[in-house]
Structures are given as structure tokens and as C-alpha cells.
Structure 1
Amino acid sequence: MAARTGHFFGYNADRRFVLPFARIMLTRLPNPAPSRPAAPVHESVWLLWLLVCAWLWPGVFGHDLWNPAEPHIFAAVQENMGQTAWLPTVRGEPYFALAPVYVWTAKMWTALLSPHWLDAYAAARLASVSFAVWGLTAAGLAASALMGAYCGRMTVLMLTASAGLLGMGHFLSGMTVVFAGAATAWWGLAVLRRNTAAAIVLLAAATVLLGQSAGWLAAGCVPLVMLLLCRSPCWRTGRLLAAALGTAVCALPCLAVQPAVLAKTDPAAFTQYWQMHLFGAFGGLTRANIGFHGGYYLQNLLWFAFPAWALALHAASRLRGRAHAGAHLCACWIAVFGVYILLHPQRFQEHLIVLLVPLAVFGSAGLDRLKRGVAAYLNWFGIAAFGAAALFLWLGFLAMNFGFPAKLAERAAYFSPDYVRQLRPEALSAALLATALWLWAVTRRHIRGRQAVCNWAAGITLVWALLMTLFLPWLDAAKSYRPLVAKIHAALPPLAAGECLHIPAEAAEAALAWAQYAPFPASPDPDCRYRLSQYRPPAPPAATGKILWQGRRPRNKTEAFVLTDTR
């Protein structure tokens, strides 16, 4: 006799009825049936979407290119404008770290909106916004299909409430393609039993996105997840195997297009691609890279995916061994991509984005069953943390512009000495409006799990909005290369006839910064009289000739620059 394991989220877990009930539930997509009557929740859907829209835009506009990735990515976009490039290049060299589809999207927005509507930097950043919206939509639809319509909205809010998505969703970052690919894979798996053809299309698209942005090894993790799901009684159907086969048939030709074009148009780049970059950071067929940074990634996951991971653990604790399709999918996904992350050769916290989607989707399932005390504590902690951060940011704004408090003003000048006081009425108005809306949101009564997550998302949106309005000029002065290039140009004597400035190939950051902000281009001639070099402190600069200027960006300890007269 089959063991009876209970009932959870509307699924009868008796093994004799798992498949029929799972098929019916995933087809009709009802709201999950609670084990006990849940308190009625009043929910203004338009306010939820207004919060997401407010989260999307701060940080996209009004600032220069910031390290570490933006100068390189924008150089790839700018260099490939007006041509169909199957492989991004920076200064003529192949740039394998960036997905071509990201470059194409950034080029599209730049051509459409720059310079008449937006500056080129903001227009290019809309590529990140586009893939972030794609990922949020796909994750919400996946949660709706697996857990119920309300879980879709909560998943989107939980993703925006996670600090890990902030930087990549607003700055130039190819990791948003990875986020969109992971979310699309979940969407495809969620609709598998309702529409196999749609699932194959979505899974193939997800595989191609992951393959372009993170390498073929990341793309191969998707069919591996599907193979693991075959062991689950909730997923053991012929449709899963058909979808796996259909995904491979559709995705492999698409993944092979770029290498095939490279082999025909640029054989040297194609050889470098399959030998060293086929599997992304893990290397290629002739060179394999592997590492183990488990402690680093586990430590960063605590803040990167909070509160999603905490709520996912709470939902898992309520299973108590019961069968649930969403739980099995989450477990298989984390098992496969968890190993992928642990063995990743690079220490880069944004790789955790592949784990954020399953944690948010599964964590949304138990929000209405969250105990009132737990929801109240989460809400109180969010109000205290983000309220204190917002107060500190307002004090910092007063300090760096009016000198009070004096100690805070001194620290502000220390970290951004190139900042010149700027009082922008539109930024101040937006900051005041964001603060007022947050105060209104957190004063609501009868807090439950949904409202606690909503308030957490509102808090992180408030802090991000204050940073990208009140502190944007201060941050730009510290993180942009524009003030540095202005100092170098001021130290450079007027160029006489036949004189020029040369930047060596190894000084990549110096060359990119000079190309963006200098009044005249650098010369490729290595015999120029003036030379701008780059070195890594504390090693002394390898400069020959008279040093005209030497320095670095404020508080930067990894790169410094030196201008020399070689004659």
C-alpha cells in the first residue's frame, strides 16, 4: 500500500493520486488551499506595481560610467555601434565576458534614444532594465503557475526586496541576462504540464540566454535539473522527457550559431572561444578552470537573497516530508546550480543570481501562513534598519552640502574629495516624496506576511532612491573617471605640432577613461612624447622619463596612473 504523506498547498500527496492531482492543479492554477482559514488580506495591486516601477529607475540616469564593469561594457557597445557583431570587442580585442544579446539590446536603446532623449550612458543602461523586467515578469508568471496568482505578485516584490538585484538591474551588467535566463527556465518548467510546446520554447530560450551569458556549462545545468526532476513523483511524466528532448533540439542549433559565424568570419577568435571560453569562467576544451569558494558564497547569500532565503526555509519547514511540485523543483535547481556556484573559479557575488529566483518563488508560497509574530518581527526589523539608513543618508546629505554634522562632513570629504556641492531641486523633491511614501506604507495596521515583504521592498527602494538622488553627485565624483581625466589633462602641457599622447595596451582602464572624457583622442603611436601608464599600488610605476603627474581615484587601492614626458 502506498504510504500516505499528507496534504500541502492543495496537492494530495497520496502516491496513488499524485500524478492526476498534480496535473489538474497545474492546469487550472487555483490559489493554494490553506490547511486552515487564512485571515482576509486587502491588497491594492496597483500599489504593488507602482512600487516595482519606483524600484526600476533610480540609478539609471544622471551619472557617468562606474567601475568595475561599466567602462568596459559601454566601450563594447560603443565600439560595435553600426555593425552586426557576433562577438563584442573592446579596443579591437574579443570580449568574451559579455553576452552578444546584451550588446545588441544596449545598441538598440542607444540608437533609439541617444542623444535627443537620453544621454548615451543612460540609454545603454536600459538594456539592464529590459532584462531585469524580463526576469521579474518570468519569475512572477512561474510563481503564479506553481503556487497561485498572489504568489506571482509576492515573488516580484521579494525579488525587488533583495539587495542582490539592485546593482545589476540598474547599471551596465551582463548578469541581468543570467537572471532573465534563470527566471525563464522556471517559467518554462512551471507551465510544462499545461502546455508542452510553450514550455519547450521557454526552456530553449532560457538555455540560449544562459549559454550566451555564462557559458555552455550553465546552459547544460537546465537539462540536468530536468533529469533530476524525473525522480520526483510530482514530475515523473512523459511530458518532462519530451520537453527535455525538445529543448535540446531547439536550443543546440541556436547556441551553435555564434560559434559557426565566428569560425567563418574570425577563425582566431573562434579558436580562442572554444579553447578557453566555451564554458564561461570554467574555461574551454583545452583549459579548465575550477575553484571552491563555498564560504564566500554562503556568506554573501545571507544578504544577497534576504528575505527570500529565510521565507523559503520557513515554507520548507511546513512541508514535513510532504510531496510538493514546487518544493521538488526548488530542491533540484538549488542542488544543480548550488554545485555550479560552489565550484565556480571566480569570487563574484553576482553569480548568486541563479539561486535568487527559486528562493523567491518558493518563499512566496508560505507568506499567508507566516505566524503573526514572525511577520511582525520581519516588518519591525525592516522598518528599523531602513529607517536608520534613511536617517543617516539625510544627515549625510546635510553634512556634505552644509557642513553639519561636522564629523560626518569630514568623512564625506575624505571619501569623495572631488565633490562640489550640488543642490538639485528635482532630486531633492524625489527624495522627499520617496520618504513620505515610505512613512505612509510602514504605518499600515494588521501586518501579515504579504505586507511585511511589501514594507521590506519599500524600505530597500527608499534607501536606493535616496542614494541615487541625494548622493548621486557625491558618488559620481568618487566613482567616475571624469575628475581623474580632468586632472591629467590639466597637468599635460599644450601639445606642439607633431606631439601626441600614447596609452599602452596594458593600461586598459586609462585608455577607456581617456576615450570617454578627454578632449582629444590618444595616439596609437608608441613614440609619442607623452605617455599615460597604469600600475597597481604599492608597486612603483614602470615609468621612463620625467613624471608630470601621478595619482588615482579617491580611496582606490587597486589602480593608479602616471603621466610622463619621455624626452
Structure 2
Amino acid sequence: MHSPTPAIVSQLAARRFPRWILLLLGLIYVLPGLLGRQPWSGPDLASFGVMLDMAQGSGDWLQPQVLGERAAVQAWLPYWLGAASIQLLPFLPADLAARLPYGLLLALALHWTWKATYHLARRPNAQPVAFAFGGEASPQDYARALADAALLALIASLGLAQLAHESTPDAAQLAFASLLLYACARLASPNAQWRGLSAAAWWLGAVGLALSGAPWIGLVLGMGWLLWSLAMVRSGPRVRGDVWLLVFCASGTLLAALLAWQLELPRRFEQLSDWAAWTDLAHWRRFGRLLLWFSWPAGLLALLTVWRWRRRLGNTHLLLPLWFATVGMVSCWLLDASDRALLLALPALACLAAFALPTLSRSVTALVDWFALLFFSGCALLIWFYWLALQTGLPAKPAANVLRLLPGFKPELDWTLLLAALLGTLAWIGALAWRLGRYRPALWKGLVLSAGGSTLCWLLLMTLWLPALNYGMGQEPISRRIAALTPGSSCVLVHGLSASQITGLQYHGGLELERARRQRRSSCQLLVVEPKALNTLAQTVDLSQWRALRKVPRLRENRDGLLVYLRR
């Protein structure tokens, strides 16, 4: 005998979120960070370097590399998308052209999360309690309201904003994980039509993950769904079709398995068998802290879902997203509490979070709301306060603290960015007034402030603070300083530089680079060295031919920088 569903929802509470507001919120979330932002140091700039090499014809499209050295992440599809966009849009700056496909992927990830939740919420076992005299939510309205809530929970997740706006394989993996979740939810729906297209979407999601640098994720997710599907196959008019769909999906899983074994799966098995890692309390603390803040508030609500629906965890609408979230969290744990690995769990956590809302008391909903109100309002006030201090010099101490972190930065007022920040702040004030007023109940109401606050803070950072962030987090300042030291149009030798540093020198400095090698004769007049690679420099070049010129700091004199040598 099945236990009663914990969801109690009236038709009034299942009203849908206004479509125009939902679309506007999505646009405001996706576009900032896509327009005007330079590639920042680290994986973002390194991935852009691979795309630039491919687009300019100096890199092999089947062997992702930067200046002849293998890319850290072997992810063909994301690099192909960026490189193709650079070639197809030569009239745009290369970094903007490379980011455009990733803006589309982020929008699709949001859309596919909405669709996955909608199909799972339409399942009979997910429906709320039927009232004795009617008035309970209809299946379609209930599913739509939960899908709206899942989208709000995903946007509200604190860890999503920066990583999802980068042009890296991680952002592509997020989109394909969302697509795979949607395809599984649609294939699991008893009344789903166009099952062939759903299977094609499933295949694209699994293979897309494999070609985006996460083949073992595609393999494990695919195998889990295939095993569940085999267990669910029943005799009926569609058994033959179901079997062929499973065979088709299995081919995608097989491709993911081949890539996983070739790239990284043996190393994952070694990590799983490392007993010392499982008993390392410091590792578990790092993982717990990351999971708490990175997935807030979706992670907390997903945990409440597991508790409230604990007697029905075997139902598909819970088991499927729980499996996806578990795989993402295990991947995060195996990669030493990597936030980029945990990114893949966010769509499933948002989906699970939505199913907590029909079971929550008003006090819990109010607690989440008040936290969002205080936290995001406080963050917005701090962002505005320090920006005004930087622009006006008053108060003097906060302005001096910011300029100390950004030596050489000259603040300028951009009226377009300021107007966007003001409109976003006014919209936040309007959302606060609406939420604190007496309006009809709605399932998604408790997540409006969390999603709106997360979007507001991201908007303020990508408008008011965009010039400062580009200056402080990019490679343009140091690249231009080194370019100014280069005699004439001479090429530059590099030794020990990371992919992001090389890309910065090429893109921002406009320099022609070569890797330093003892066996190669070069006419380059300048040599740039990473200080950490000094101990191997003598093995690479003849030091008698070079004299130290200076150390060029990235920002501050006493921090990281690059050593520059001039040929004697």
C-alpha cells in the first residue's frame, strides 16, 4: 500500500508565474557577464586560448591545445562551438564571439530544467492530495507551478552565476546535464509523445557530456537510467518500440564509456578505492561547506524534499533527479571538493527543491524569504556603497582599500551600465514591496526573493563593477606592460607560463609567442618566465645569452608577476 502524498496544494496556489516576468528575469540573469566582460584568468581565459588557436588555424581541431601544448581539459565540443563562432562572426571581438554560444547554452540549461521538472511533476505519483469536495490543483497547473519554482531555485543558487557565464567546458557540461535530465524525464513520462525525439535528446545529452570533458558523468548517468528503464519495461503495445529506444540510447552510453576509459575513468576508480580520502575529515568539511553555500537555497530545499517525501523516494519524480544530484556530488567529492564538478548537480537539486514547496509550512517559507531579503539587500547595499566610494573618493578609507587592490586602475563612469544597475535596484525594491504585501498564495512565491536577489547582485557586479573586475581578474594589465617592453615587432619566448597567461599575452598584448626550447634556434629578443619555473629555465635556454630585465607585476608589486629577460 502506497503512503499518502505529502503535497497539499489548492488550485489557487498552483497559479503560474507571469510569463513576461519569468522571461525578463532569465534575460537579466543571462546577458550580464555575456556582454562587456573580458575573459578572466584561469579556466575561462585558458579555454578562450584553445578556441582562438583553432579559429586562427594554428591549432588542431582534434587535439585541443594552446601554443602547441595539450589543453588541460580535453573537451572537443565546447572548443569547437567557440572557435566556430569566432570564425562566423569576424566583425565581433573574438572574446565576445566565443561567449555567444555559451550564453545560448545557459539559456537552454534554464529551459531544460524547467521542462524536466514539468514532466516529472505531471506523473501520477507526484500529484497532490485530492480534496474531498474538489478544489485541488489540476495536474497541468500544478506541474507548471513547480517548474516555475525549479527555475527560480536554479537562478537563486549562489554557485551558478560566475561559472555558468564562463566560456569553459564546465558551462557546456551544465547545459548537457540539463538536457539529459529533461530527456530522461520525458522518456519516463507515461503519456509522452514524440518518444523518438526524446531519445535523440537523450543521446545528444550523453554524448554532449562525453565530448565536453565529462565522459564518465555521461556514462554513469546513462547507465543508471538504462538500468532503471530495463526494470520498468512492461508487456504492452509499445514494448518493441521501447526496446529499440533503449538500444539507441545505449549506443550513446557506449560512446561515453569509450571516451571515459580513454581519458579518465581508471583514475576515478583509483580515487574511489583510496580509503585514506574517505576518512579525511578536512576533506569532508571542505565538501560540506562548499555544498552548503554553492547550492543555497536549492540544496537545503532538496534535503527537505528527501525528508518530506522519504516514504516515496522510489517514485520516478524523486528518484531521477536524486540520481543526477548524487552523481554530481560524488564527482565533486572525487575532485577534491571542486565547485566546477558540483555545478552539474544544480539542475537536479533545483528540480528536487521544487517538490519541497508543496510540503512546507508558512514558517519555513518565511524563514527562507527573510534570509533572502536580508542577505541580498545587504549585499546590494555593500556593492553600491563601495562603488560610490570608488567614484567619489568618499568615504576615503573604503575607496583607498579598493584602489590598493587595483593599483593603476582609473575609475570611469559609464552611464549605460549605471542606468542598468539603477533599473535592477528599482525592480528589487518593487519585488520586496510585492512580497511583503498581502497577495494570493503561490507555490513559487517563497523563491521569488532568492532568485531576484541573486540576479540583482550579479547584475550590479556586471554593471557597476565590470571595469574594475575586468582590470583585476583579467590578464590585460600585465599583458600590455610586457608588450610595451617588446622591441619592435620581435617575437617573445615563454617558459613555464600557464595557458591563461599565454592567451593574455597573445590576445591583449598582441604578441607573437614561441615556447622556449633548447634545441630550437630563435630570433626572439624577449623571454618571459613564470617565477615558479625558474628551476627548469637553465635546462631550456642558454642563460648566457639573456640578461634579466625586470619583474612585471600582474597588479601589485609584492604579489604575483612574470620575469622578463632581454637577449644580450
TM-score, normalisation: structure 1: 0.81
Is 1:532 the equivalent of 2:499?
no
Q: Which residue of 2 aligns with 1:549?
A: 550
> Counterparts of 1:371-450 in structure 2 under 5 Å?
371-444=361-434, 445-446=437-438, 449-450=443-444
CA shift at 1:97, angstroms? 0.8
Conserved 8 A contact 1:300-1:349: yes
Aligned position for 2:158: 163
Query: Structure 1 residue 336: deviation in Å?
Result: 4.1
Counterpart CA distance in 1 for 2:398 and 2:464 is: 15
How many Å separate the matches in 2 of 1:53 and 1:132? 11
| One of 328, 333, 336 as aligned partner of 1:342 | 333
2: distance between equivalents of 1:254 and 1:218? 8
The whole-number CA distance in structure 1 between the counterparts of 2:65 and 2:266 is 16
Residue 536 of structure 1 aligns to a residue whose secondary structure is helix
Q: The residue matched to 1:214 in structure 2 has which SS?
A: coil
Q: What are the Cα deviations for residues 49-93 of structure 1, in whole angstroms up to 9, with x where unaligned?
A: 111111001111223221111221111111111668233221123
C-alpha change, 1:552 and 1:249, in structure 2 (3 Å) is: same
- Provide the rounded CA distance (Å) in 2 between the counterparts of 1:510 and 1:328: 44
**360-369 or 516-525: bigger deviation:** 516-525
Preserved CA contact (<8 Å) 1:510 1:561: no
Partner of 1:18: none
- The one-character-per-residue Cα deviations of 1:283-309 (angstroms, maximum 9, x if unpaired) are 99xxx9x96654433321111111111
Q: Deviations over 1:502-542 (max 9, x none)?
A: 22365644432221122542456546443111123999997
One-letter code of the match for 1:97? V
How far apart, CA to CA, are the structure 2 residues paired with 1:425 and 1:217?
47
Q: Is the 8 A contact 2:32 2:462 kept in 1?
A: yes
1:8-87 mapped onto 2 (5 Å cutoff): 34=8, 39=13, 41=15, 43-81=17-55, 85-87=61-63
CA pair 281-512 structure 1, distance change in 2 beyond 3 A? farther
Q: What fraction of aligned residue pairs are identical, expressed as a percent? A: 24
CA–CA separation in structure 2 for the residues paired with 1:40 and 1:177? 33
Give the letter for the 1:328 counterpart.
L
1:150-177 Cα shifts (integer Å, max 9, x gaps): 2222222211111222112222221122
Q: Offset of 1:214 from its aligned partner?
A: 3.1
Report the AA paired with residue 493 of structure 2: H
Q: Distance in 2 between matches of 1:222 and 1:479?
A: 35
Mean alpha-carbon deviation: is it higher for 517-526 or for 310-319?
517-526
Residue 13 of structure 1: aligned partner: none
Preserved CA contact (<8 Å) 1:128 1:168: no
Q: 1:105 aligns with which of 81, 86, 94?
A: 81
**Aligned counterparts of 1:550 and 1:407: Cα–Cα separation in 2:** 30
Residue 443 of structure 1 aligns to a residue whose secondary structure is helix
Candidates 459, 484, 503, aligned match of 1:465? 459
Question: Which stretch of the first structure deviates more once superposed, 325-334 or 383-392?
Answer: 325-334
Gaps of 5+ in 1: 10-33, 260-272
> Structure 2 CA distance, aligned partners of 1:40 and 1:152?
11
Q: Which residue of 2 aligns with 1:14?
A: none
Helix, strand or coil at the partner of 2:172: helix
Letter in 1 for 2:565: T
Which residue, 67, 70, 80 being the options, matches 1:91?
67
| C-alpha displacement of 1:145 | 0.4
Deviation at 1:439, TM superposition (A): 0.6
Q: Would you say the 8 A contact 1:64–1:121 is kept in 2?
A: yes
Structure 1 pair 241–407 and aligned structure 2 pair: CA distance change class (3 A): farther
Query: 1:326-377 CA deviation, whole Å, 9 max, x = no partner?
Result: 1122333344444343233x54211002221221112112324432222222
Q: Distance in 1 between matches of 2:177 and 2:113?
A: 9
Deviation at 1:430, TM superposition (A): 0.6
SS of the residue 2:549 aligns to? strand
Q: Which amino acid aligns with 2:3?
A: T
CA contact (8 A) 1:537 1:558 kept: no
Q: Which of 168, 176, 181 is residue 171 of structure 2 equivalent to?
A: 176
Asked if 1 retains the 8 angstrom alpha-carbon contact of 2:41 and 2:501, the reply is: no
Q: Offset of 1:557 from its aligned partner?
A: 9.1
- Deviation of 1:431 (Å): 0.6
CA contact 1:418–1:477 (8 Å) conserved in 2: no
Change (3 A) 1:119 1:280: farther
1:112-164 deviation line (CA, Å, top 9, x unaligned)? 4342xx32211211122122122211111110101112222222221111122
Work out whether residues 223 and 244 of structure 1, in 8 Å CA contact, stay in contact via their aligned partners in 2.
no
Q: Return the alpha-carbon distance in structure 2 between the equivalents of residues 40 and 283 of structure 1.
A: 45
- The Cα shift of 1:218 comes to 1.6
Aligned 1:259-278 pairs, distance under 5 A: 277-278=263-264
Question: Across the two proteins, how many residue pairs are aligned to each other?
Answer: 514
Does structure 2 conserve the Cα–Cα contact (< 8 Å) formed by 1:225 and 1:333? Answer: no
Change in Cα spacing, 1:350 to 1:215, as seen in structure 2 (3 Å) is closer
Deviation of 1:378 after TM superposition, in Å, equals 1.3
2:134 corresponding residue in structure 1: none
- Whether the 8 Å CA contact 1:191–1:198 is kept in 2: the answer is no
Query: Is it true that 1:352 corresponds to 2:342 in the alignment?
Result: yes
3-state SS of paired residue (2:305): helix
- CA shift, 1:37, in A, is 6.8
- The answer to whether the 8 Å contact 2:14/2:145 transfers is no
Give 5+ residue unaligned stretches, structure 2: 122-142, 516-520
Indicate the residue corresponding to 2:124 in structure 1: none
1:475 partnered with 2:473: no
Residue pairs, 1:218-367, within 5 angstroms: 218-226=217-225, 229=228, 235=232, 237=234, 243-252=245-254, 277-279=263-265, 282=268, 293-322=283-312, 324-344=315-335, 346-367=336-357
- CA, structure 1 residues 430+340, in 2 after alignment: closer, same or farther (shift >3 Å)? closer
Distance 2:500 2:328 in 1: 33
Secondary structure of 1:65's partner?
coil
Q: Equivalent residue of 1:58, what SS?
A: coil
Partner of 2:148: 153
Opposite residue 92 of structure 1, the aligned amino acid is: G
Residue 565 of structure 1: SS of its match in structure 2?
strand
Contact 1:229–1:328, Cα closer than 8 Å, also in 2:
no
CA contact (8 A) 2:173 2:212 kept: yes
- SS class of match (1:191): helix
CA gap of 1:66–1:338, structure 2 versus 1, over 3 A, is closer
CA distance in 2, matches of 1:561, 1:103: 28
How many angstroms apart in 1 are the aligned matches of 2:19 and 2:186?
Answer: 23
1:391-440 deviations in Å (ceiling 9; x for gaps): 11111111112111111111101111121121011011111111011110
Q: Which has the higher contact order (CA 8 A, sep 6+)?
A: 2
SS at match of 1:456: helix
Does 1:198 find its partner at 2:197? Answer: yes
The residue type paired with residue 107 of structure 1 is A
Choose which of 102, 106, 110 in structure 2 pairs with 1:136: 110
